[in-house]
Amino acid sequence: MASFSLHQLTCFLSTYEHRSLTGAAEELGYAQPSVSEQVRNLEKHLGVPLFRRVGRGVVPTTAADTFRPHAEKVLAAADEAQRAVASIRSLETGTIRFGMFGVARLYGGAGLVADVLERYPGVRVELIGQHSMDVQENLRRGRLEAAMIAVAGLSSEGMTITPIARDELVYVSADPSRLTAPVTAKQLAEASIVMPETTWRESDSARIVLRRMLHEAGYNPSTRIEVEDVETAVELVGRGLADSVVNKGAALQLLPRLAPNAGWVSLRPRVYDTMAIVHRAGATLSPAAQLLIELATQRIQAIIEPVGPAAPPRDA
């Protein structure tokens, strides 16, 4: 005996809901005899009547009441399968968006795009965000499914946060005498400092970590120069106009190019900026978002220290 079709289940459920073959036909946009035929064929397949004809309407039988939730599950599964295929089609030919703040893009942005295009040459890629707070706002508004951001000071309300790596914050200077030993909170408080992310100075993850270090030692942070991007800060260090504190990964990448006469040293105590994958709590991530999370995590963990749930605290 042939199995029933999705079309038959659709006609059955609509008839069940409307208690009318005519109502089901109007909802589905079919001729009434077509709906009636689909229901009859389903009844023939199941071997039981599903409706009793009463006047101009129908009344579901006990068999119909029993069959209804199973029919709904079958149609829901078919719809989910269709959405999954559509997601894969979008992954192959659509637009992939992922949030990455400035330092993360510096580490892996171009490589991440190359990774995506190597797997799916037909897609369009967007890496979105200037700063972690900016990216988080895009997540909250639903403009992004997932992102990689720094997490110090990040609100976890409504968000799932998965730490993936930590990056030491280091002191950079063009004066070799300042790099002979780790820099203490007292020395940092007394130094002439240039800091990036001036627009986000109150919420910037690295600055929050540094403020915490200084406050615990009884000092207040101060800067001589404020700039927007870490590249400018490193250039100013190279010119000898100020020292700075930047992510170690950024120092390793930018000093040879922008300040070859400068070097770096750890702080005492060492402090770390933690990077995490973030998405809205309870969200079902698309294949595209899952792909970007996987590739971005691989990129960042190859550059800076991987972490997991049991990793040491940032300020250790």
With respect to residue 61, please indicate whether it lies within any of the assigned structural domains: yes
- Contacting residues for 233 by C-beta, under 8 A, at least 6 apart: 194, 195, 196, 225, 227, 244, 246
Q: Which position has the token pair 């929050």?
A: 208
Token representation of residue 280: 């809205």
Could you read off the pLDDT of 211-256 as tens digits, one per residue?
A: 999 999 999 999 999 999 999 999 999 999 999 999 998 999 899 9
With respect to residue 295, please indicate whether it lies within any of the assigned structural domains: no
Q: How confident is the model at residue 308 (pLDDT cuts 50, 70, 90)?
A: low
With respect to residue 116, please indicate whether it lies within any of the assigned structural domains: no
Within 10 angstroms of residue 2's Cβ, the number of other Cβ atoms is 7
pLDDT at 298 over 50: yes
Distance CA 196, CA 258 (A): 15
Pairing of strands 305-306, 159-173: antiparallel
Give the model's pLDDT for residue 212: 95
At 165 the three-state DSSP class reads strand
With respect to residue 130, please indicate whether it lies within any of the assigned structural domains: no
Number of structural domains the chain divides into: 2
Q: What spatial distance separates the first Cα and last Cα of the chain, rounded to whole Å?
A: 69
Of 200, 238, 234, the closest CA to residue 101 belongs to 200
Give the model's pLDDT for residue 134: 84
Could you read off the pLDDT of 181-211 as tens digits, one per residue?
A: 999 999 999 999 999 999 999 989 999 999 9
With respect to residue 311, please indicate whether it lies within any of the assigned structural domains: no
Of 246, 252, 241, 250, the closest CA to residue 267 belongs to 246
Burial of 262 (C-beta count, 10 Å sphere; 0-12/13-18/19+): buried
CA angle 42, 46, 52 (to 5 degrees): 70
* Domain final residue, candidates 90, 109, 135: 90
The chain-wide mean pLDDT, for the chain, equals 88
Average pLDDT over residues 2-14: 86
**Are residues 171 and 85 part of one domain?**
no
Q: How confident is the model at residue 146 (pLDDT cuts 50, 70, 90)?
A: very high
Domain that holds residue 60: 6-90
**Are residues 260 and 170 part of one domain?**
yes
With respect to residue 260, please indicate whether it lies within any of the assigned structural domains: yes
Could you read off the pLDDT of 251-283 as tens digits, one per residue?
A: 998 999 999 999 999 999 999 999 999 998 988
ω before 60 within 30° of 0 (cis)? no
Distance CA 301, CA 244 (A): 24
CATH number at residue 261: 3.40.190.10
Q: Which of 53-57, 69-73, 273-277 has the weakest average pLDDT?
A: 53-57
At 240 the three-state DSSP class reads coil
* Domain final residue, candidates 73, 90, 107: 90
* Domain final residue, candidates 90, 112, 131: 90
Q: How confident is the model at residue 140 (pLDDT cuts 50, 70, 90)?
A: confident
**Are residues 175 and 268 part of one domain?**
yes
With respect to residue 1, please indicate whether it lies within any of the assigned structural domains: no
Positive or negative: CA dihedral 185, 191, 195, 198: positive
With respect to residue 244, please indicate whether it lies within any of the assigned structural domains: yes
CATH number at residue 13: 1.10.10.10
- Which DSSP string do the residues of 75-129 spell out, in sequence order? HHHHHHHHHHHHHHHHHHHSEEEEEE-HHHHHHHHHHHHHHHHHH-TT-EEEEE-
